[in-house]
Amino acid sequence: MWVKVAHLTNEKYADLLNPLGVEQTKKLFCNCKRRRRLRLGKSEDSPLASLSGTSVSVSPDGNTVDPNMSTDAMPSLDSYLTSNETSPHPSLQSLVHDLDLTVEIKELRRQMAERDAEVARLKRKIVEQANDYKIRINSIADILKNGTDRKVFEDIRTYLNVS
């Protein structure tokens, strides 16, 4: 039974019961149900009715505390339930977190676009330099070829003693 109660509680009131653990929730539920039975003499109450019908606080160490006897108790579960039921929107923290993620994603996409543009610019620069070096190498090769041809021609002429 407690596994089902803990599972349903965790599903429905996960944001609400964040400071409480499952064990603390079980103790709180038992205490509320016991008080409800004592007041009304009924043994079959719904968990939500018994939780919302009582004003039990939980101390930071996890023990249930009577609100009349403690001065440093946490706010009652009623205040958590009513504040959660009045706001049908997701919690503010999740909205802020989602907004932060959206902003971060946009920033990363912008950085990727900048880097892609830089890569394209560098590729064009490399192609231009490669073409320039190719032209220079070809002109140097032509000069060497002409020089070699002229030197070979002169060597042949001197060898044959032709003036």
- Confidence band of 40 (pLDDT split at 50, 70, 90): confident
Q: Which residues contact 65 (CB under 8 A, 6 or more apart)?
A: 56, 57, 58, 59, 73
For residue 14, what are the CA distances in angstroms to 10, 21, 88? 5, 10, 14
CB burial of 59-71 (b: ≥16 within 10 Å; e: otherwise) equals eeeeeebeeeeee
- Residues 41-60 have a mean pLDDT of 49
Q: How far apart are CA 87 and CA 15, in angstroms?
A: 12
Torsion angle (degrees, nearest 10) of CA 8, 11, 13, 16: 140
The better pLDDT of the pair 53, 152 is held by: 152
- What's the pLDDT band for 18 if we cut at 50, 70, 90? low
| pLDDT confidence of residue 62 | 52
| pTM of the entire predicted model | 0.35
CB atoms within 10 A of CB 106: 10
Q: How far is CA 53 from CA 46, 57, 72, 120, in A?
A: 11, 13, 22, 67
Question: Which has the minimum average pLDDT: 38-47, 88-97, 103-112?
Answer: 38-47
**More confident site: 155 or 83:** 155
Q: Name beta bridge partners: 58.
A: 64
